[in-house]
Structure 1
Amino acid sequence: MALSHYQVDPVTGFVSPDPLPLQLPSAYSAWDAVAPELSALIRSRKVRDVIRALPLLDEAGLVTAADQERGLLLLTHYANAYVWGGDEPDLRLPPSLAVPLSALAARMDRPPIAHYATTTLTNWRLVDTGAPVSVDNARTQIQFLGGVDEDWFFIASMGVELAGAPLLPVVARATALSADGSDAELAAALGHFAEGMVAVHAALEHVRRWCDPATYYLRVRPFVAGWPTPGVIYEGVSEEPQRHIGGSAAQSALLQLFDAMLGVKHADHPAGSYLRAVRAYMPPPHRRFVDDVEQGTRVRERVTGGTVVLQQAYNEALQQIAAFREAHMRLAHDYIVAPSGAARDMAGTGGTSLDTFLRGAHRSTSDASIRPTSTP
C-alpha cells in the first residue's frame, strides 16, 4: 500500500506538499485579480457585480495539477462568496462562474462548492519560503471577509492534518500487518498510532488560540455553508438546482481513514450515511485510500481473537479517537451552539445536526471497544 499512490505526502499527509502557485497562466488573470479584493468586494456588496462581469473563460487551458487546484480554489470560493455575499442568498450563479467551475469540478471529480479540500488542504502559502510548512509559517491564499480569525481557523485545521501525517504510514502498516503480521507486531503498530493521536488532539485544541468563537460564527461560518433549499442553479450548465454540502471537517479523509483501519462502523443514522456521502467531497486519491483500507483491513477481526496485549492496544487507539471526537463536540458547542444564543443553532456547515452527528460518531467509536477475553 504505497502512500504515493494515494497522493499522500510523508511530511504533510493529505495537505498538498507544496503551496499552490499564487497566479494562474496569464489567460486567467481575470480570475486571479478578484482574489486579493474578495473581502472588500463582499463588504461593499460589489462581489456579485464583479463576478457577473468576469469573462467566460475555458478552464481546459489549466493543464497542470497545480493550476487546476488553484483554479478550483478560486472558483469555489467565488461561488460561496456570490451566493452568501449579500443581504439574502442569490441562488443563481452566472455563466461566467458557473460554466468553468462546473467543468473543472467535474474534471477533478470534486463538488462545485467550497469544500474542505479547497478551504484547508490547498488554501495555504508559506510566510517564510525558506522554512518548512507549519501552522506558524503558513497563511491562507484566499479569504472571504478576512482577518486573523478566519485565517487561523483554516490554518489550524490544516495543522490537524499535519499532526496526523505521521500516522498515515502507521495506518498502512497496521492494515498490512492485520493480514500477515504477528499479534505483537500489530499491537506495536496500534501503540504507535495511539501515541501519535495525542498530537492530533493537541492540534485540534489550537483552533482556540487565534479564532474567537463569536467571530467564527458570525463572519466565517456563513460563507462555508452549503446550498439552501431548493439549491443553486448553475446558469449555462443546467436550470435544475443543485444541492451541495457545505465545507466541513467531516470531509477530511483523516478520521475516516482511522475508522476504516480500526473497523469502526457507524450506524446509518445519525453518522454513517453522512460520512459515506461526504467521501465524494474528498480528492479522489484520498477517497480511494479510505476505501482501500476499509476493504483491506482485518484489524478488528484479528483483535477479537488476539492476545490481551493486542486487545488493550486496540482499545487505547479507540480511546484516543473517542477523546478527539469529544474535543470536537466541545469545539462545536463553543463555536456554534453558544454564539447562537437563544437561536440554539445546532446545524453544522455540512447541514447535519451537530448534536446527533457528533454524539453518534463518538458513541460508535466508544462502543467499538473490545472486552479482553483471551490470554497474553
Structure 2
Amino acid sequence: MPQTMAGPVPRLADYGIDEATGFLSNPPPLRRLPAYFEPWEQVLDDLHQLLVAGALRTRVRKLPMMDTSRLGPKPEWHRAFMVLSFIAHSHIIGIPKVDTVEPIIPEVIARPWFAIAKKLELKPVISYAAVELANWFLLDPEGPLDLSNIAIQHTFSGVFDEAWFYLIPLGMEAVGAPSIKAMVDAQEAILRDDESAVAAALHIVTDCIDKMCVMLKRMYEKNDPHIFWSRIRNYSGGSKNNANLPNGLFFEGVTEIDADVNQCVPPPKGLVGTWRCYAGASAGQSPLIHSLDVGLGVHHASMPQKSSDSPATKAPAVNPMLEMREYLSAEQRAFFKALGEAPSIREYVSSLSSTSAAQIEFNNAIRALKSFRDIHIQITTVYIILQQKKEAASTGAMSPKGTVGTGGTDLVPFLRQTRQETIDALVKST
C-alpha cells in the first residue's frame, strides 16, 4: 500500500545528481584553475619530481598566500580543493617510508585549504571527493563513461597502480549510476501502489550492483598489493587514529574552534593555529554506496566500544559508515536525508506477499549488495591485512592485533558489521 505519511520523492537535479552519470559530474571536473592560481597548479605539475628531489616542502613554504575569494563557479572551488588536498598530503607524507611525516601544514596551504573546505562544507583532508570525484577526465569527450575512456588527472606516486586504484571506484560510480534513478522511480511507484513498477526498478538496482561487483573484482588487474601498501596507501590516510600523527595535524594560521580541534595539545612554539583530527579518504565515502544503503533501508547502528576504553575519555559510539557521511558534500548529505524520508522501499515490499515480484527483487538487490561487501572484505584482506602482516614479519615485529583503515576505523570489525547490517535488511517471509 502507498505510504501517505512519507516525505516527497527527491528530484535528482535538485541535488546536483545526473540521471545518466549519477555522482560523476556532467560535464567532467575542471582540469585547471584560472591563471591567478598558477602557483598551486605548478606545484601539482611538478609534484612527483619535487617529491623525488626532496624539494616539495621547501617549494610549498615559498608559495604566496592566495586569495580564495577569486575562485568563481563551483567547479573552480572543487578543483582548488583537490589541488590543495594533493599538495597538503604530499607535504605531510613526503615519500612513504623514506621521509619523516610532517605534522605542521604551512599557513600558505592551511588557510586557503580550510577556507575552501568550509565553502564546500567538506573537511580539509584528503577524501573521496578530492581523489575520485574531482580527479578524472574523459580521454575522448564524446566517448563512453567507462574504464575504456575515463582517466585520472593526478596521482601522488606517479605509478599506474595508484591511477587504477582511483579508476575502479569511478568505474563503479559509472555502472552504478542508473540505480540512483531506479530507487527514486521505485519510490514514485510506491505512491501509485504499482507493484510491477517497483519490481522493475529494483531489477535495475540489482543489475547495477552486479556490475559494481564485477568492476570491484578488477582491482587486482593493475594494482599490485605490495606497491599499494608501500607507496600509495599512506597518502590516503588522515590524522584520526594515526600513530604517526598522535596530536593530529597542525593548521598554521587557522584559529577557528570546532569539533575537529584537539584542544588538549598547545600549538608548537612560536606558531598560531589549531591541531585538527580528520579521517582520511575511504571507499566508505562513496555517495553511491550511501545512496544504496539509504534507498534499500540498510540500517547502520553504532559500533560497540571496547570494554577497556575509559568512560571518562572515550567518544560517543558512532557507526563509521554514518561518520563517513560527514566527509561528503552538503548536497549529497541532503540527498540521503530526502531519500530516507521518502516512501520506504523496504517497508513497502515487506507489506507484500513473499511471492510478489517486488519483494523478490528487493531481496535480490540486498543479496547483491551483500556480495559487493564480501568482495570488498576480500580485497581489504589482500591489500591491507596480509600486507601489514608481511611487513611485520619482515621486520621481526609482532603481528598487529588490529588494522586501522585510512578512514580511521578499526577495519575488520567495521567491514563485518556493515556486511551483517546489509544481511539484516533482507525481508524475511512470515
Alignment TM-score, normalising by the size of structure 2: 0.83
Residue deviations 1:288-312 (CA, integer Å, cap 9, x gap): 1111111223222212221222322
For 2:328, the equivalent position in structure 1 comes to: 282
For 1:369, the equivalent position in structure 2 comes to: 426
For 1:35, the equivalent position in structure 2 comes to: 44
For 2:254, the equivalent position in structure 1 comes to: 237
Please give the alpha-carbon distance, in whole angstroms, between the structure 1 residues aligned to 2:427 and 2:32: 52
For 1:291, the equivalent position in structure 2 comes to: 337
Residue deviations 1:144-174 (CA, integer Å, cap 9, x gap): 1111101111011111110111111001112
For 2:283, the equivalent position in structure 1 comes to: 249
Offset of 1:130 from its aligned partner? 4.0
**Structure 2: 5+ residue stretches without partners:** 1-9, 240-244, 256-272, 305-316, 393-398
CA contact under 8 A between 1:260 and 1:294: conserved in structure 2?
Answer: yes
1:1-376 matches, within 5 Å, as 1-85=10-94, 87-227=99-239, 228-238=245-255, 239-269=273-303, 273-308=319-354, 309=356, 310-340=358-388, 341=390, 342=392, 343-344=399-400, 346-373=403-430
Q: Secondary structure at the match of 1:18?
A: coil
Please give the alpha-carbon distance, in whole angstroms, between the structure 1 residues aligned to 2:204 and 2:148: 26
Residue deviations 1:202-229 (CA, integer Å, cap 9, x gap): 1111222111111111111100101133
Please give the alpha-carbon distance, in whole angstroms, between the structure 1 residues aligned to 2:176 and 2:116: 29
CA contact under 8 A between 1:77 and 1:114: conserved in structure 2?
Answer: yes
Residue identity in the other structure for 2:253? G
Change (3 A) 1:221 1:186: same
Deviates more, 1:139-148 or 1:51-60: 139-148
Offset of 1:268 from its aligned partner? 0.6
Q: Secondary structure at the match of 1:234?
A: strand
CA contact under 8 A between 1:232 and 1:243: conserved in structure 2?
Answer: yes
Normalized per residue, which structure has more helix? 1
Please give the alpha-carbon distance, in whole angstroms, between the structure 2 residues aligned to 1:274 and 1:295: 21
Residue deviations 1:36-93 (CA, integer Å, cap 9, x gap): 2112222222111111111000111001112111111100111111111152221111
Please give the alpha-carbon distance, in whole angstroms, between the structure 2 residues aligned to 1:295 and 1:21: 33
Residue deviations 1:175-208 (CA, integer Å, cap 9, x gap): 2333442333322322221122111111111222
Please give the alpha-carbon distance, in whole angstroms, between the structure 1 residues aligned to 2:285 and 2:126: 11
Please give the alpha-carbon distance, in whole angstroms, between the structure 2 residues aligned to 1:372 and 1:178: 20
Please give the alpha-carbon distance, in whole angstroms, between the structure 2 residues aligned to 1:96 and 1:316: 51
Please give the alpha-carbon distance, in whole angstroms, between the structure 1 residues aligned to 2:344 and 2:133: 29
Deviates more, 1:149-158 or 1:83-92: 83-92
What is the alpha-carbon root mean square deviation over aligned residues?
Answer: 1.7
Residue identity in the other structure for 1:234? F
Q: Secondary structure at the match of 2:303?
A: helix
CA contact under 8 A between 1:164 and 1:254: conserved in structure 2?
Answer: yes
Deviates more, 1:321-330 or 1:23-32: 23-32
CA contact under 8 A between 2:252 and 2:274: conserved in structure 1?
Answer: no
Residue identity in the other structure for 1:349? T
List 4+ stretches of structure 1 deviating above 6 A.
none
Q: Secondary structure at the match of 1:233?
A: strand
**Structure 1: 5+ residue stretches without partners:** none
CA contact under 8 A between 1:149 and 1:216: conserved in structure 2?
Answer: yes
Identity %: 29
Q: Secondary structure at the match of 2:33?
A: coil
Query: Between Structure 1 and Structure 2, how many residues are aligned?
Result: 373
CA contact under 8 A between 1:263 and 1:297: conserved in structure 2?
Answer: no
Residue identity in the other structure for 2:333? R
Alignment TM-score, normalising by the size of structure 1: 0.95
